[in-house]
Amino acid sequence: MKKSPNRGTPAIAALAVCALPLAVCAFEKIALVDSFDFVSLLDAETKAGTEKIVDHVMLTGADTLLWRNQSGSTPRYPSAEEMRPIKEPPIDKRRVPLSGIYGWSQLDKGETNLIAHAFSYMASRGRRTGIHLTFEENHWATFTFGGWNLDHPQYWCRTHKGAPLCKRSSFAYDEVLAHKMRLFDELLDMDPDTIFVDMFRSGGWTPAQEYVPPVLAAWRSKYGSTPPPADAKDERWLKIVSVYVERYMRALRSHIDARGRRTRLLLGLPYVDLQDREVWERYALDWKKLAADGVVDGIVVMSVRPSPKDPYGSTRAVYDHVMKCRGKAKVWFHCSVYNYEPGIPTYCKLTGDSQAEAARKLLQMAKDAGGEGVVLECVDWGNYKPEVNKVLNEFK
């Protein structure tokens, strides 16, 4: 078993924290945490390793830590609903090196429910707790397939030509929605303060994969014998698919409400622009409607594409647009070192700013725009450098 690198115990006493456990901070810094990303550095399958992950993430000064629930169809907690894949990796870690996106890590079979232990440990440090919920990775095939998904081929997604896609199940089936809600209830059983629905991690799902019998029937009921469009970005098709995506989001809200609405529901949107087209075309999701109706408590702008000529000005324009359209929801903005979509490294490249300077400007912009705070995506080992952590800790 690999052990933690000999880097000392992170000092946490000097970090800025909320005055009381679970208190709401004036400007909240939310850290997304993927414990899998630490498995080659420390023993992430143990309580001690989990605490070291929390300690490292807390160096950013984060007020809230959201723990990744699963990826590639593999939960990171003991799940009764989603069984392990049919083919499991070798478990003799003395002989088999960690390899691939999955490797030998079994975060659902640790010495306890590691997410629940992380929650307890975070709360003892005065941090809020929560779940980083992937939008559609519970069926996504990487090196593994979801067991429930493999057992239910009748619900698999289909392309316009009718080809089945075994790696995903369609949102349009009641049985799939019920399965997703049982998974969601497992998360609510851990009593998280926040659940963050991450649209970026969709497993590649798009409306182009929803040519399944229920959606086609809905199409025929509205358009008769007119064939459904091959272009899944056709406005008519998006509106029909959006019914099922919205149904999923409303079901999440109803399950939270049934427990007394103790948990915040945040919706993370990448690709946000002034026309709202990218989010709509990729996910058939009308975020403004969800915000106006109070389905979500908050919107998180996970990324925008800054103009090379005016990176910060163009970003601020998108922020102002979201604030105008936010409805009842509060808004958080991004302060990401990850650069899958433009993050701090992109702003540095376009402006010549250091990472610390770019972070400070993004933090100030989020505050000036009226945001509740920022989301740090994701906090892996060392990707938020000491100089960036210093800025984050100083910013209130």
Query: Quick one: average pLDDT of 317-327?
Result: 97
Task: State the pLDDT confidence band at 53, using cuts at 50, 70 and 90.
Answer: very high
Could you tell me the pTM of the whole model? 0.90
Evaluate whether residue 62 is within a structural domain.
yes
Residue 60 DSSP code: G
Evaluate whether residue 5 is within a structural domain.
no
Strands 194-198, 156-158: parallel, antiparallel or unpaired by DSSP?
Answer: unpaired
Query: Quick one: average pLDDT of 357-361?
Result: 98
The pLDDT of residue 150? 83
Check whether 56 has a pLDDT greater than 90.
yes
Check whether 22 has a pLDDT greater than 50.
no
Evaluate whether residue 281 is within a structural domain.
yes
The pLDDT of residue 9? 35
Evaluate whether residue 213 is within a structural domain.
yes
Task: State the pLDDT confidence band at 358, using cuts at 50, 70 and 90.
Answer: very high
Query: Quick one: average pLDDT of 318-340?
Result: 96
Check whether 246 has a pLDDT greater than 80.
yes
Evaluate whether residue 16 is within a structural domain.
no
Evaluate whether residue 7 is within a structural domain.
no
Q: In this predicted model, which residue has the larger pLDDT, 126 or 144?
A: 126
Task: State the pLDDT confidence band at 166, using cuts at 50, 70 and 90.
Answer: confident
- SS3 assignment, position 29: strand
Query: Quick one: average pLDDT of 135-162?
Result: 80
Q: Which two tokens stand for residue 80?
A: 């009764």
Q: In this predicted model, which residue has the larger pLDDT, 30 or 3?
A: 30
The pLDDT of residue 136? 80
We report the CATH number of the domain holding residue 269 as 3.20.20.80
Handedness of CA 71, 195, 188, 295 (dihedral sign): negative
Check whether 274 has a pLDDT greater than 90.
yes
Query: Rounded CA gap, 242 and 233, in Å?
Result: 12
- SS3 assignment, position 341: coil
Q: Which two tokens stand for residue 385?
A: 């450098």
* pLDDT one-digit tens code per residue, 182-196: 999 999 999 999 999
Q: pLDDT over 90 for what percent of the chain?
A: 72
The pLDDT of residue 317? 98
Task: Please say whether the beta carbons of 268 and 246 come within 8 A.
Answer: no
Task: State the pLDDT confidence band at 132, using cuts at 50, 70 and 90.
Answer: very high
The pLDDT of residue 97? 67
Q: At what angle do helices 311-324 and 344-351 cross, to 10 degrees?
A: 140
Check whether 249 has a pLDDT greater than 70.
yes
Compute the mean pLDDT over every residue in the chain, rounded to the nearest whole number: 88
* 165-169, 170-174, 184-188, 214-218, range with the lowest pLDDT: 165-169
Cα→Cα distances 327→110, 200, 245, 298, 337, Å: 42, 22, 19, 10, 29
The pLDDT of residue 393? 97
Query: Quick one: average pLDDT of 267-290?
Result: 96
The pLDDT of residue 2? 39
Q: In this predicted model, which residue has the larger pLDDT, 19 or 86?
A: 86
Task: State the pLDDT confidence band at 15, using cuts at 50, 70 and 90.
Answer: very low
Q: CB 350: neighbour CB atoms within 10 A?
A: 17
Evaluate whether residue 128 is within a structural domain.
yes
Task: State the pLDDT confidence band at 18, using cuts at 50, 70 and 90.
Answer: very low
* pLDDT one-digit tens code per residue, 67-97: 999 876 778 899 999 876 555 656 666 666 6
The pLDDT of residue 232? 98
Structural domain of 248: 30-394
Evaluate whether residue 85 is within a structural domain.
yes
Query: Quick one: average pLDDT of 211-228?
Result: 98
The residue to which tokens 């399950």 are assigned: 255
CB half-sphere exposure, 383, CA atoms < 13 A = 21
The tally of domains found in the chain comes to: 1
